[in-house]
A and B are shown apart, each in its own frame.
Chain A
Amino acid sequence: MSRISLVAGRIALSLPTIFGVIVISFLLTRALPGDPAAYFAGPTATPESIAEIRHSLGLDRSLPVQFLAYLQDLATGDLGRSISTGQSVLSDLLTRLPASLELTFLALLISLLVAIPAGILAATRPDGIVDQATRFLVTAGVSLPTFFTGLLLLFIFYFKLGWAPSPLGRLDILYLPPPQLTGFYLVDSLLAGDFETFRAALAQLALPAITLALFTMAPIARMTRAAMIAALGSEYIRTARAAGLSRRKVLFVYALRNALLPVVTTLGMVFSFALGANVLVEKVFAWPGIGSYAVDALISSDYAAVQGFVLTMALLFVTLNLLIDILYTLLDPRIAHES
């Protein structure tokens, strides 16, 4: 089977999941506490006006009919209107999404850059000092409440040492945001050649990204170590060593390339952690992403916004998992031969 049809197969496989996600998010919308019609009608409403609003919202129709209407709304990108901002939920989410994605991706980059070398080092000398330290840090890492680490870092680096800027958004008010191309301030400011703004944006990003990275490092380091130990113990490594290949070549070309496959698979779980923890980190650092938007919406009972957020996160996660799957298919030549 060719690579392309394999990739197409993966995409087709994710369609039922997306449908399930939409069903669940519809059911969550339907399970709202209280009567939305009475809520929209206000405190002075009469039973007649409530019934009228219920009719105009379509709440008096059967569930399957309502589900079809929900699908129709989704197809046109209508996620409802946010009560607190007065904007459509979709435009609210779209303006905030780049901030969240920039934070999440930078955090994942940091944790990959730290965790993979740590895992490799730990695997080359099992039970050595690096291994012991990694093992302790990995268990400590998954025990960290993200919101608490964030506050701790803020206390040390902002309040005590004064190294970090005040945690109020993506850019200090002295700077103008760079011209929007990708929505990622780091990328946009580099494209505009504005290194001053780049530095300022990076300074704001550093603490939240490190907080998030600390949380996601643990599973990656753990998996890298286990996969490297398995790879280093295999026969092709023995053969490569016996053939007199250099240590570096054996480690990085032969062992690491094989060990990376299981690491790629765990990335799915890591994304799930990261997107969830993202909400807490955004709240701690007043980061203007979709996580803090959802938290504000939750507190003001702005349900359309919360449901829109949950659906967006789920679709984002399904897409990321699909990309991981496709990457895996492309990385592992065995899959094409097997099927």
Chain B
Amino acid sequence: MRVDPTTGEAVPLPAAPQGTQGRWKDAAGERLRLFVYVARGSTTTMLAMAMATLFVLVAILGPAILPFDPLASNPQAALQPPSADHWFGTDNLGRDVFSRVLAATRLDLGIAFGAVALSFVFGSLIGALSGYFGGWVDAVFGRLIDVIMAFPLFVLAMGIVAAAGNTVENIVYATAIINLPFYARIVRSEIAIRREAGFVQAARLSGNGDLRIIAVHLFPNVLPPLMVQLSLNLGWAMLNAAGLSFIGLGVRPPTPEWGIMVAEGSNFIISGEWWLALFPGATLMLAVFTFNLLGDGLRDLVDPRQRT
């Protein structure tokens, strides 16, 4: 504290210039408050957040909360309809469907998160480089992305998994490749419009290298629309991965996974054992629905004009 000579009152010392860290924290806090405000107004977004948390919790806790061993078969208790003991019934080998659905959460969410994380990183990188440098970099990456988009995406994923080998890792890579164009395009256009902005020129004049400008000055501006894309993409990635394993790619029985469980259960629908396919399918639907709702909520927050 020092004393102001004109009024004699104590005035605080001028605050030290805030570091980037502090400004970031403020901006994040502001955004969080705004999010809570918007979320309060929208019950669906609140509900979506709660359900997403639940799914993630189940995926993390995984094996710890299962009532039965998802792989243990029990021929005496085969094909039992849902009951108090077996909430979702039992399958043709007497395995508890509820335990298998819970156990599958980790794999399904893991594949989707892994694929989306990969396409986020590499899509952003490609988009940032082509948006910032333009010219031949942009031309080469642009062509590459055009060619990926020239395939029906699910079909391309099938082709990639067939060529690279039928494993879970390849499902993740294939899903990442077919989602990459969306990230690359968003990042490219957002960076291209800011390439010559005042703050970028200022950063350049004060001696920042190109890569530093991209990472520190430009990329944070792209994050909000990217987060929306990320959340909407999670559901789509989950659908893709489950679809691939439904047609027999990637996950092998007896591993519990929603897509393959629906495929196995589909043989029993005609004979009336509906619970085998219904519960994993409905859970998959609910998970995708949750992340789509969350994405819509995030979009309203980031860009209210895009509400549709």
Q: Which chain A residues have a beta carbon within 8 Å of chain B's beta carbons?
A: 16-18, 20-21, 23-25, 28-29, 31-33, 139-140, 142-148, 151-152, 154-155, 158-159, 222, 225-226, 271-273, 275-277, 279-280, 283-284, 294-295, 298-299, 303, 306-307, 309-310, 313-314, 317-318, 321
Per-residue A-contact encoding for B291-308, CB less than 8 Å = 1, 0 else: 011001000000000001
Contacts A151-B277, A159-B269 hold; do A314 and B163 have CB atoms under 8 A apart? no
Contact partner, B155, options A148, A159, A225, A314, Cβ 8 Å: A314
- In the bound assembly, the distance between CA atoms of A314 and B242 in angstroms comes to 22
Contact A31 B164 (CB under 8 A): yes
Contacts A140-B289, A148-B284 hold; do A298 and B277 have CB atoms under 8 A apart? no
- In the bound assembly, the distance between CA atoms of A299 and B260 in angstroms comes to 14
Query: B266 at interface (Cβ–Cβ under 8 A)?
Result: yes
Contacts A155-B269, A284-B266 hold; do A317 and B150 have CB atoms under 8 A apart? yes
Contact partner, A225, options B154, B156, B246, B308, Cβ 8 Å: B308
Q: Which chain B residues have a beta carbon within 8 Å of chain A's beta carbons?
A: 143-144, 146-147, 149-156, 158-160, 162-165, 235-236, 239, 242-243, 246-249, 259, 262-263, 266, 269-270, 272, 274, 277-278, 281-282, 284-285, 288-289, 292-293, 296, 308
Contact A24 B147 (CB under 8 A): yes
- In the bound assembly, the distance between CA atoms of A60 and B289 in angstroms comes to 50
Closest to A303 in B: B162
Chain B residues whose CB sits within 8 angstroms of the CB of A226 once the complex forms: 308
Chain B residues whose CB sits within 8 angstroms of the CB of A273 once the complex forms: 152
- In the bound assembly, the distance between CA atoms of A276 and B152 in angstroms comes to 6
Contact partner, B247, options A20, A144, A272, A283, Cβ 8 Å: A283
Chain B residues whose CB sits within 8 angstroms of the CB of A33 once the complex forms: 163-165
Starting from the known contacts A151-B281, A159-B272, A309-B155, 6 additional A-B residue pairs (CB-CB under 8 Å) come to A139-B293, A142-B288, A145-B243, A155-B269, A159-B270, A317-B150
Chain A residues whose CB sits within 8 angstroms of the CB of B160 once the complex forms: 28
Contacts A148-B281, A151-B269, A277-B154 hold; do A295 and B248 have CB atoms under 8 A apart? yes
Contacts A155-B274, A298-B247 hold; do A25 and B159 have CB atoms under 8 A apart? yes
Chain B residues whose CB sits within 8 angstroms of the CB of A16 once the complex forms: 143
- Prevailing SS type, chain A contact patch: helix
Contacts A24-B147, A32-B163, A148-B285 hold; do A310 and B155 have CB atoms under 8 A apart? yes
- In the bound assembly, the distance between CA atoms of A271 and B292 in angstroms comes to 21
Chain A residues whose CB sits within 8 angstroms of the CB of B235 once the complex forms: 142-143
Contact A20 B147 (CB under 8 A): yes
Min CB gap B179→A, angstroms? 13
Contact A310 B246 (CB under 8 A): no
Contact B247 A306 (CB under 8 A): no
Min CB gap A220→B, angstroms? 12
Chain B residues whose CB sits within 8 angstroms of the CB of A24 once the complex forms: 147, 151
Min CB gap B254→A, angstroms? 17
- In the bound assembly, the distance between CA atoms of A321 and B146 in angstroms comes to 12
Chain A residues whose CB sits within 8 angstroms of the CB of B158 once the complex forms: 279, 294, 298, 306, 310
Contact A20 B159 (CB under 8 A): no
Contact partner, B289, options A139, A295, A307, Cβ 8 Å: A139
Contacts A29-B163, A155-B274, A279-B154 hold; do A145 and B247 have CB atoms under 8 A apart? no
Chain A residues whose CB sits within 8 angstroms of the CB of B165 once the complex forms: 33
Contact partner, B281, options A145, A225, A280, Cβ 8 Å: A145
- In the bound assembly, the distance between CA atoms of A147 and B263 in angstroms comes to 9
Contact partner, B262, options A148, A275, A279, A313, Cβ 8 Å: A148
Chain A residues whose CB sits within 8 angstroms of the CB of B274 once the complex forms: 155
Contact A21 B147 (CB under 8 A): yes
Min CB gap A265→B, angstroms? 14
- 16 A–B contacts, CB within 8 A, in A order: A23-B147, A139-B296, A145-B262, A145-B288, A148-B282, A155-B274, A159-B270, A225-B308, A272-B152, A276-B153, A277-B154, A279-B158, A295-B247, A306-B162, A307-B162, A314-B150
Chain A residues whose CB sits within 8 angstroms of the CB of B289 once the complex forms: 139-140, 143
- In the bound assembly, the distance between CA atoms of A298 and B170 in angstroms comes to 14
Contact A280 B156 (CB under 8 A): no
Contact B155 A275 (CB under 8 A): yes
- In the bound assembly, the distance between CA atoms of A12 and B4 in angstroms comes to 75
Closest to B246 in A: A147
Contact A279 B146 (CB under 8 A): no
Closest to A225 in B: B308
Chain B residues whose CB sits within 8 angstroms of the CB of A318 once the complex forms: 150
Contact partner, B151, options A154, A159, A313, Cβ 8 Å: A313
Chain B residues whose CB sits within 8 angstroms of the CB of A314 once the complex forms: 150-152, 155-156
Contact partner, A306, options B159, B243, B262, B285, Cβ 8 Å: B159
Chain B residues whose CB sits within 8 angstroms of the CB of A151 once the complex forms: 262, 266, 269, 277, 281
Contacts A21-B151, A33-B165 hold; do A147 and B262 have CB atoms under 8 A apart? yes
Min CB gap B306→A, angstroms? 9
Min CB gap B161→A, angstroms? 8
Chain A residues whose CB sits within 8 angstroms of the CB of B155 once the complex forms: 275-276, 279, 309-310, 313-314
Chain A residues whose CB sits within 8 angstroms of the CB of B143 once the complex forms: 16, 20
Contact B269 A317 (CB under 8 A): no
- In the bound assembly, the distance between CA atoms of A226 and B150 in angstroms comes to 26
Contact B150 A154 (CB under 8 A): no
Contact B151 A310 (CB under 8 A): yes
Chain B residues whose CB sits within 8 angstroms of the CB of A303 once the complex forms: 162-163
Contact A307 B266 (CB under 8 A): no
- In the bound assembly, the distance between CA atoms of A226 and B147 in angstroms comes to 29
Chain A residues whose CB sits within 8 angstroms of the CB of B266 once the complex forms: 147, 151, 284
